Amino acid sequence: MEMILEEILIYGGGLLLCVLVMFLYVKTKSKKSEIVERKIEKAKEDGVYEPVSLYPFIDPNSCIGGAACVSACPEKDIIGVVNGKGVLINASNCVGHGACFHACPVEAISLKIGTEKRGVDLPHVNQNFETNIKGIFIAGELGGMGLIKNSVEQGKQAINNINEIIDKNHTASHDIVIIGAGPAGISASLQAKKIGLKFLTLEQDSLGGTVFNFPRAKVVMTSPMELPGHGKVKLFETSKTELLDLWRTVIAENEIKINENTKVSEIKKEGNNFVVVSENGEYFSTNKVLLAIGRRGSPRKLNAKGEELEKVAYRLLEPELISKKQILVVGGGDSAIENALLLAPENNVTLSYRSENFNRLKPKNLEKIKEAIDQNLIRMEFNSVVSTITEHEVVLTKNEEELRFENDLVYIFAGGELPTQFLKKSGIEITQRFGYTVKSHNH
């Protein structure tokens, strides 16, 4: 009898312990789910819930909620787990490096572009990366495939395809003009050099493309990349500086010149060749064209007097190195506000916006900018436009009056011109895709 009692106590105790552990486990899980659900609500309020470009699509039927994707993602709160299933949180902050896609042990993640609600413009390309305009090719993120490694691979492959069909007797100055010097354009230039093509690379900004503008130092590469003329690069977690240095070194070693600060504005067909026209009024004749211009477009200019001065910029790099300066920030969107707020603590910042109030800001930014203006951390000039920029001054026009400010630096965030218009002008067909799968484990 005593033994039975003892057994009941032992087994009963064990069972109770199991139930308690289960209870605590379920409770912790549901608490974690609640936290993620609150983050989703907040993301919806802040307007960052809907993906804007490439993003992970999680199949709820395959997902086992192991959260490997959550830990693999170097961005914060793009994916979370609710009730044992992966869900999107701040999806519009996803930069599409696909670490989650590779980390998922049950292949429940695919990478998509566009959602049912929000379409994304993608140009038509065939399996050789050629567009509907014979002789114009596309490589890299513009064609819908994100990630540094993929762009590098496509840049190389596109050049090989082009090499096979180049008109050996053409009369143009170049076999190929490569437009853009991001990962795709760099790799294409290296491959063109390797196989002896007569090529020219034109870049509106500076070498490195989107990587040059990353707001964070860390770069993730999910698998090694093969750089033509250099070999395999096994950098899985690297820094932006290391990657840019590597590209600069390889480009220099291969004696390639990238024509920076040369924005291409038009591609014209001329007989069997093309003429590539730059914004600076230069013309380059070529037999083939490779567009490696990414998807981020070009910053919109104000066309103000003095805008070409070196102190004028369209992006803010390393704000921590800027202090005690008289700064004009132009724009009223989230980028202008976020950058003005970054600069304000250490500098004297004036914000110029052409409208009479902010009307398209994320709620959090609106709250922060109002607070900064109230505390005189930022001087706000609504209804103003920049008329002249000189070495030490800026002149704004506001209600037909002139406002003059001492000035060291100007940052313009007037939005971007998407590459869509440029492509259409060159005759390239574009389709809006809603939930187009770029990469899945079945492909």
Ligand X SMILES: Cc1cc2nc3c(=O)[nH]c(=O)nc-3n(C[C@H](O)[C@H](O)[C@H](O)COP(=O)(O)OP(=O)(O)OC[C@H]3O[C@@H](n4cnc5c(N)ncnc54)[C@H](O)[C@@H]3O)c2cc1C
Residues that bind ligand X (CB under 6 A): 95-97, 140-142, 146-149, 151, 179-185, 202-205, 209-211, 214-215, 219-221, 263-264, 292-294, 296, 298, 419, 422
**Comparison of 225 and 380: residue with beta carbon closer to ligand X:** 225
219 vs 336, beta carbon nearer ligand X: 219
* Least distance to ligand X, CB of residue 370, Å: 27
Indicate the residue among 267 and 327 with the shorter CB distance to ligand X: 267
Other CB atoms within 10 Å distance of the CB of residue 25: 10
DSSP structural state of residue 130:
B
> What is the rounded radius of gyration, in angstroms, for the C-alpha atoms of the chain?
26
Handedness of CA 24, 27, 31, 37 (dihedral sign): positive
Counting DSSP H helices and E strands in the chain, the numbers are: 9, 28
The per-residue DSSP string of 346-362 comes to GSEEEEE-SSSS--S--
Q: How far is the CB of 316 from ligand X (least distance, A)?
A: 14
Structure-block tokens of residue 410: 């100007």
The smaller minimum CB distance to ligand X, of residues 211 and 395, is found at: 211
- Residue with smaller CB distance to ligand X, 95 or 172: 95
β-strand pairing of 258-259 with 199-202: parallel
Smallest separation (angstroms) from ligand X to the CB of 186 = 7
Q: Measured between alpha carbons, how far is residue 83 from residues 55, 71, 105, 201, 304 in Å?
A: 21, 17, 18, 51, 54
> At closest approach, how far in Å is the CB of 70 from ligand X?
16
- Shortest distance, position 11 Cβ to ligand X, whole Å: 53
Cβ(48)–Cβ(91) below 8 Å: yes
- For the chain, the 3-state helix, strand and coil shares in percent, each to the nearest 5, are 35, 30, 40
CA distances from 26 to 31, 35, 42, 79, 399 (A): 8, 14, 24, 20, 62
CA 314/CA 329 separation, integer angstroms: 10
Angle at 190 between CA 184 and CA 196, to 5 degrees: 130
Residue 180 in contact with residue 291, Cβ under 8 Å?
A: yes
Of residues 216 and 392, the one with the C-beta less far from ligand X: 216
Residues 414 and 312: their CA atoms lie apart, in Å, by: 13
- Does residue 141 contact residue 151 with C-beta atoms inside 8 Å? yes
Closer to ligand X by Cβ: residue 109 or 396? 109
Q: Would you say 56 or 65 has its CB closer to ligand X? A: 56
What minimum distance in Å lies between the beta carbon of 331 and ligand X?
Answer: 19
Q: Which is nearer to ligand X, 137 or 358 (CB)?
A: 137
What's the min distance (Å) between Cβ of 177 and ligand X? 10
Secondary structure (3-state) at 337: helix
Give min distance, CB of 204 to ligand X, in A: 4
Tell the smallest beta-carbon distance from residue 359 to ligand X (Å): 26
